[in-house]
Amino acid sequence: MNTLNESELKLFVDSVRRYFKVTTGQEPQITSAFLATDSLVGHDFNGIVTFSGSYNGHVMVSMPSKLLRELLLLQHETDLSDNNLLDAVGEIANTLGGNARKVLGSGLQISVPVKLQGASGIKARVRQHPYVITLRWNHQPALVCVDMERRH
Partner 1 sequence: MRLMIVDDSNMIRTRISRVVQSGGLSGIAVVGLARNGAEAIRIARATQPDVVTMDLTMPEMDGIECITALLRMQPKTNILVVSALNDKSTAIAALKLGARGFVSKPFTDDELKLALLDVTAVH
Q: Which residues bind partner 1 (CB under 8 A)?
A: 18-19, 22-23, 72, 75-77, 79, 84, 87-88, 90-91, 94-99, 101-102, 105-106, 110-112
Question: What's the closest the beta carbon of residue 88 comes to partner 1, in angstroms?
Answer: 5
Question: What's the closest the beta carbon of residue 10 comes to partner 1, in angstroms?
Answer: 16
Please name the amino acid found at residue 99.
N
What are the E-state strand segments in 9-130? 29-35, 45-53, 55-63, 108-110, 114-117
Nearest to partner 1 of 52, 128 (CB atom)? 52
Residue 35 exposed, middle or buried by CB count within 10 Å (0-12, 13-18, 19+): exposed
Main-chain dihedrals φ then ψ at residue 124, nearest 5 degrees: -65, -20
Nearest to partner 1 of 84, 129 (CB atom)? 84
Say how far apart CA 107 and CA 112 lie, in whole Å: 16
Nearest to partner 1 of 23, 39 (CB atom)? 23
Nearest to partner 1 of 40, 92 (CB atom)? 92
Question: What's the closest the beta carbon of residue 48 comes to partner 1, in angstroms?
Answer: 14
Please name the amino acid found at residue 63.
M
